[in-house]
Amino acid sequence: MTRDEITKHVKQVIKMEMLKKDMNFVELQKLMEEKGYNYSLEAIRQKVGRGTYDARFLYEFAEGMGLDIIFVKKN
């Protein structure tokens, strides 16, 4: 995958999980805040919109949403 393809995929990962739970950014920000991850609403929107968030943010997002991150070997 190229860097652009990776960025596009990364943008979609969080948005897809939010859609599965019918969740908007306001609700996501509240969930993350409840877990102790303090990001402004605008910061979350920017991180997800750019698709350039770091691994820590992805982990915090997963924790807030009650999800696990699992690595699976490619075929």
Half-sphere exposure of 21 (CA within 13 A, CB side): 16
Number of domains in the chain: 1
Question: Tens of pLDDT along 10-52?
Answer: 889 999 999 999 999 999 999 999 999 999 999 999 999 998 8
Q: What's the pLDDT band for 75 if we cut at 50, 70, 90?
A: confident
Q: 26 in a domain, yes or no?
A: yes
Q: 75 in a domain, yes or no?
A: no
Q: What's the pLDDT band for 1 if we cut at 50, 70, 90?
A: confident
Q: Tokens in use for 37? A: 């991850």
d(CA 57, CA 10): 12
Q: 36 in a domain, yes or no?
A: yes
d(CA 59, CA 10): 13
Q: 31 in a domain, yes or no?
A: yes
Q: CB neighbours (10 Å) of residue 58? A: 16
**Owning domain of residue 37:** 3-65
pLDDT of amino acid 72: 94
